């Protein structure tokens, strides 16, 4: 098959989240198909021309063709603020506005006319605006989350009244857009059964297929060795959900744990840590803000517990799959492990109250044997259920179901 893959972000290097999924999906489907990748450059993940060029060289070794495009709101601070102002009055979601590009549209038209594309994979609903340029070609769209639900959750925990209002309005626009656009596709690719049900409740009768997130079980492995009295969280701090999770843990859970284990450490990994987090790390012993790191595995390996205190989100959490594959003891909120077939007390601890989350941290830090059992079960789940080659087969099956028989 010739697959035109439209991505909202350059999926390399695959450091977490949508980057990791995009890269591994493309790598797997490109083994037996020709993939034509169009992607937008995000300066926060590729901050230099050297890194842009390096990513393109790598992806060109996998794909038939690779083309990059700039995001206009990220060209300058002026562009950013202009986009947010326009977005306030714009009838469609901000993600649609942010991804407007005549160059992107022209390249789609060029490839469709030139290459005899078989199927178009639109990897986020924000790029659905380009569907009209592919004619009658079979197409699918990926819902990495039910984005409108994610926005609605976020609006409830925002502290600033204007931000809360802005995000709530975006949630309303997104929900309408998701409902309208999902009806236009041969298949809507969902991360989980929970997301599938939510979309079907919003837009009854649309066609769906579940292609869950996965993990590179050869890259993420268990590393035997002595673990520190430490917890760890990984995730870009430029994402609201990650920042909120970390600050919530420090405000409401960390003090409860410190009373019992005063020498505990908290490793926080992720780009663009906020000023209030950096300030806390200087004021209080044990909080180590590492920012972006090239390889999270050594830090995860030496930490006794991987924590996921997320209060906002949707879809499935790749960070949880990575931690499962590394055989870690994990404590998560229900939201943090949504969409992953984990079992409480078997391969993860699920805690939604601050006091119980703190109690579980204390329990597991003091029980090496229990951590080992949880970690063994976690690794087995990752290998058996979430290895990327198996995940890609679900997607190829979805592609074939859209093609004429």
pLDDT tens readout for residues 356-393: 999 999 999 999 999 999 999 999 999 988 999 888 98
The answer to whether domain 2-214+387-402 and domain 228-385 are alike in fold is yes
Please state which of the ranges 1-15, 119-133, 158-172 shows the lowest mean pLDDT.
158-172
**Where does the pLDDT of residue 190 fall: very low under 50, low under 70, confident under 90, or very high at 90 and above?**
very high
- Answer whether residue 307 shows pLDDT above 90: yes
Q: What is the pLDDT of residues 105-145, one digit of tens each?
A: 999 999 999 998 999 999 999 999 999 999 889 999 999 88
- Answer whether residue 237 shows pLDDT above 90: no
Assigned architecture for domain 228-385: 3-Layer(aba) Sandwich (3.40)
The Cα–Cα gap between 97 and 196 comes to 26
pLDDT at 294: 84
**Where does the pLDDT of residue 171 fall: very low under 50, low under 70, confident under 90, or very high at 90 and above?**
confident
- Answer whether residue 61 shows pLDDT above 80: yes
CB within 8 Å of 82: residues ≥ 6 apart: 73
pLDDT at 315: 44
Q: What is the pLDDT of residues 218-230, one digit of tens each?
A: 889 988 888 999 9
Round the average pLDDT of the chain to a whole number and report it: 90
pLDDT at 51: 94
Average pLDDT of span 55-66: 96
| Pairwise pLDDT comparison (213 vs 308), residue with the higher score | 308
pLDDT at 267: 97
Neighbours of 164 (CB within 10 A): 15
- Answer whether residue 212 shows pLDDT above 90: no
**Where does the pLDDT of residue 405 fall: very low under 50, low under 70, confident under 90, or very high at 90 and above?**
low
**Where does the pLDDT of residue 74 fall: very low under 50, low under 70, confident under 90, or very high at 90 and above?**
confident
- Answer whether residue 343 shows pLDDT above 90: yes
pLDDT at 147: 83
User: What is the SS3 string spanning 236-303?
Assistant: CCCCHHHHHHHHHHHHHHHHHHHCCCCCCEEEEECCCCCHHHHHHHHHCCCEEEEECCCCCHHHHHHE
Judge contact between 216 and 23, C-beta under 8 A. Answer: no
Average pLDDT of span 62-75: 91
Which CATH number is 2-214+387-402's, of 3.60.15.10, 1.10.10.10, 3.40.50.1370, 3.40.50.2000? 3.40.50.2000
**Where does the pLDDT of residue 206 fall: very low under 50, low under 70, confident under 90, or very high at 90 and above?**
very high
pLDDT at 29: 94
- Answer whether residue 84 shows pLDDT above 90: no
DSSP bridge pairs for 187:
140
Query: Where are the domains positioned within the chain?
Result: 2-214+387-402, 228-385
């Amino acid at each position: 098959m010739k697959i035109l893959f439209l991505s909202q972000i350059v999926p390399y290097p695959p450091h977490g989240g949508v980057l990791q999924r995009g890269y591994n999906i493309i790598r797997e489907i490109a083994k037996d198909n020709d993939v034509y990748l169009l992607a937008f450059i995000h300066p926060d993940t590729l901050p230099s021309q050297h890194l842009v060029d390096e990513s393109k060289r790598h992806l060109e070794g996998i794909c038939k063709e690779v083309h990059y495009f700039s995001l206009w709101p990220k060209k300058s601070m002026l562009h950013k603020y202009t986009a947010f102002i326009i977005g306030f009055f714009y009838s469609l979601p901000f993600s649609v506005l942010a991804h407007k590009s005549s160059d992107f549209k022209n390249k789609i038209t060029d490839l469709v006319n030139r290459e005899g594309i078989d199927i178009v994979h639109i990897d986020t609903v924000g790029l659905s605006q380009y569907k009209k340029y592919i004619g009658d070609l079979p197409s699918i769209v990926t819902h990495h989350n039910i984005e409108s639900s994610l926005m609605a959750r976020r609006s409830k925990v925002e502290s600033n009244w204007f931000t809360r209002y802005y995000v709530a309005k975006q949630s309303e626009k997104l929900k309408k857009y998701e409902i309208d656009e999902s009806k236009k596709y041969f298949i809507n690719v969902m991360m989980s059964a929970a997301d599938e049900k939510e979309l079907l409740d919003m837009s009854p009768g649309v066609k769906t297929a579940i292609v869950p997130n996965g993990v590179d079980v050869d890259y993420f492995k268990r590393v035997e060795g002595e673990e520190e009295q430490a917890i760890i969280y990984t995730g870009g701090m430029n994402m609201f959900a990650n920042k909120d999770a970390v600050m919530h843990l420090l405000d409401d859970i960390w003090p409860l744990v410190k009373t019992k284990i005063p020498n505990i450490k908290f490793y926080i990994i992720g780009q663009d840590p906020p000023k209030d987090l950096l300030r806390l790390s200087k004021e209080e012993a044990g909080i180590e803000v590492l920012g972006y790191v090239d390889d999270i595995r050594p830090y995860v390996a030496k930490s006794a517990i991987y924590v996921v205190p997320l209060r906002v989100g949707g879809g499935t959490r790749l960070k949880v799959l990575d931690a499962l594959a590394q055989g870690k003891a994990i404590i998560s909120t229900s939201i943090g492990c949504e969409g992953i077939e984990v079992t409480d007390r078997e391969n993860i601890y699920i805690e939604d109250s601050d006091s119980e989350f703190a109690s579980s941290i204390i329990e597991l830090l003091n029980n090496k044997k229990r951590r080992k059992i949880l970690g063994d079960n976690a690794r087995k789940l990752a290998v058996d259920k979430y290895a990327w080659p198996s995940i890609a087969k679900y997607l190829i099956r979805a592609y074939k179901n859209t093609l004429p028989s």
